[in-house]
Amino acid sequence: MAVVQVEQGALKGIECNYNGEQYVAFKGIPYATPPLGVLRFKAPKPPEPWQGIRDASEHGPVCPQYNERLYRIDPGSEDCLYLNVYTKAINPPQPLPVMVWIHGGGFYTGSGNSDFYGPEFFMKHDVILVTFNYRLEVLGFLCLDTEEVPGNAGLKDQVAALRWVKNNITAFGGDSNNITIFGCSAGAASTSYHLVSKMSEGLFNKAICQSGVCLNEWGYNIYGKERAFQLGKILGITTDSPNELLQFLRDMPVSSLIKIQLPILGKQHEDLADSIFFGPVIEKEHLNIEKFITEEPTNLIKNGKLANVPIMVGYTSAEGIEIGKRLAGIAGFLSMKGAVVPRELKLKWAPEKILEIDKKIRNYYFQDKEITPAILQEYVNFETDRLFAYNIVRFARYHVKNTSPVYLYKFTAETERNFTKKYYNMQEVAGVCHSDELPYLFNVTCINIPLTDVSRSIIKSIVDLWVNFASTGNPTSPNHEVQWKQFTNVERNCYVIDYECKCVPNINEENMKFWEEIYDESNL
């Protein structure tokens, strides 16, 4: 029987077997007090102890949400702050490296459950994998700019999970001084936030950001408080009092706080990134609480306020499919002057400059053609660079100023496991869709995704690279055929992950230089 003792009490896990690989799973471990009643929207409280041996054979409830992958409402429970630990050995000869996965989903959907994030591919290695839930959408990211609700409760949940792992992972055979955090999309943006947040200092030793960083403008919300009052109005209260709004929203049934649709704000500069209604915000400096982040990510990173730890960052070859799937519905918006200019720049430039750069971008990517479904591939290529790749490479360029190594990758492999592109019915577009690398890292069982000999070789490659990095800080060992060289500003090496991996310098160089000129960051 697999029993461990953690700070809060004893846990009984289950012994598992996958194709002859033995591992132990501990699921549904509470890492914070249930955020119920008056704790709704508040930062998490430490977990409470329990008596006897707690059964850890089943996942805890997920955060109430619209499950985007399965097209359904998952009612879950507000009592959702649970994590899962998968370990090769409770008593290994030496402590195992720990990998903590932060799930994505636009800050409004997803969970750490094994139906999508099955641990089996990692369990072929001597490593511990931790996954967890955090609060989403309104429950996790309501912001009233007050001490009660300053915003970022979901990110503070993540910190609580990391604190729990740091304090307890040795009980599962883990090395508390060798913890790697990693995530994709909103999970990757979250991972990069932990690199700049004082709350997360000392809780991890390495980081992997897959298809997102906090510089990507979809990764932070600049209208948090306004969105909160918009929500109140839609649900039936017109007030300018944060306290009155808080009381109203606390009394709302949780079903009213998921799958929220809000009207456009009517700002001078509308932006696609503003369609994530509830996400990370910049907390007010004057509030007398423990704050997650109080400066814009761009300022923190430009000023070198980054954890000095090894990082891996990267993207897929056609991230922009995630936006391109909606092109028919947003073509009208994209025809507006300034629509293709990044939000970060629009907010600080004069109208004349916005128009000048808008014209320059349209000429470069679309040869001044109107953006319609007729040029879907060009539009996907544009959004891959604008909303993903440029700021991921930019993050790498700033991190290089630390002494810790930086590794950049581009995922280009396509097999039957590239589920998302098929799901979006976007097969006519060239390249690998946003999040389509996930079925190569995790054993997905909630959707029928085939597993063949072709995809098994890519699974082996990517999991090996990730585990090597988590173990040693270097993704390729000396016996790898193709060495993954570090990214530097002199030699911007990129590891291309495909049937045959290769390491190439200055990938996508022309487009990156174009954006560096636009951002005026050629001379970092």
**Per-residue confidence (pLDDT) for residue 307, from 0 to 100:** 96
Task: Give yes or no: 190 in active site.
Answer: no
Average pLDDT score over the chain: 96
For residue 335, pLDDT beyond 90: yes
Q: Please count the helices (runs of H) and the strands (runs of E) in the chain.
A: 16, 16
For residue 114, pLDDT beyond 90: yes
**Per-residue confidence (pLDDT) for residue 509, from 0 to 100:** 96
Where is pLDDT greater, at 198 or 70?
Answer: 198
**Per-residue confidence (pLDDT) for residue 58, from 0 to 100:** 98
Rounded mean pLDDT, 498-513:
96
Alpha-carbon span 255 to 218, nearest angstrom: 25
In this predicted model, what pLDDT tens digit does every residue of 41-64 receive, in sequence order?
999 999 999 999 999 999 999 999
pLDDT tier for residue 334 given thresholds of 50, 70 and 90: very high
**Per-residue confidence (pLDDT) for residue 324, from 0 to 100:** 96
**Per-residue confidence (pLDDT) for residue 479, from 0 to 100:** 81
CATH superfamily entry for domain 1-289: Alpha/Beta hydrolase fold, catalytic domain (3.40.50.1820)
In this predicted model, what pLDDT tens digit does every residue of 158-196 receive, in sequence order?
999 999 999 999 999 999 999 999 999 999 999 999 999
For residue 441, pLDDT beyond 90: yes
Rounded to 5, what percent of the chain is helix, strand, coil?
Answer: 35, 20, 45
The residues with which 15 forms a beta bridge, in sequence order, are 24
pTM for this one?
Answer: 0.98
Under a CB-based contact definition with an 8 Å cutoff, are residues 87 and 3 in contact? no
Domain boundaries, the chain: 1-289
In this predicted model, what pLDDT tens digit does every residue of 10-41 receive, in sequence order?
999 999 999 999 999 999 999 999 999 999 99
Task: Match 């996508």 to its residue by tokens.
Answer: 508
**Per-residue confidence (pLDDT) for residue 273, from 0 to 100:** 84
Calculated CA dihedral for residues 362, 366, 367, 373, nearest 10 degrees? -120
In this predicted model, what pLDDT tens digit does every residue of 60-106 receive, in sequence order?
999 999 998 888 999 999 999 999 999 999 999 999 999 999 999 99
What's the farthest any 2 CA atoms get from each other in the chain? 70
For residue 281, pLDDT beyond 80: yes
**How large a percentage of the chain has pLDDT more than 70?**
100
For residue 313, pLDDT beyond 90: yes
**Per-residue confidence (pLDDT) for residue 523, from 0 to 100:** 81
In this predicted model, what pLDDT tens digit does every residue of 384-406 receive, in sequence order?
999 999 999 999 999 999 999 99
Task: Give yes or no: 77 in active site.
Answer: no
Q: Catalytic residue among 137, 319, 383, 414, which?
A: 319
Q: Catalytic residue among 111, 185, 197, 471, which?
A: 185
Q: Catalytic residue among 434, 435, 461, 471, which?
A: 434
Task: Give yes or no: 319 in active site.
Answer: yes
Residue type, 56: A
The residues with which 311 forms a beta bridge, in sequence order, are 207, 406
Residue type, 299: N
Q: Which two tokens stand for residue 198?
A: 């004082």
Q: Which two tokens stand for residue 231?
A: 């929500």
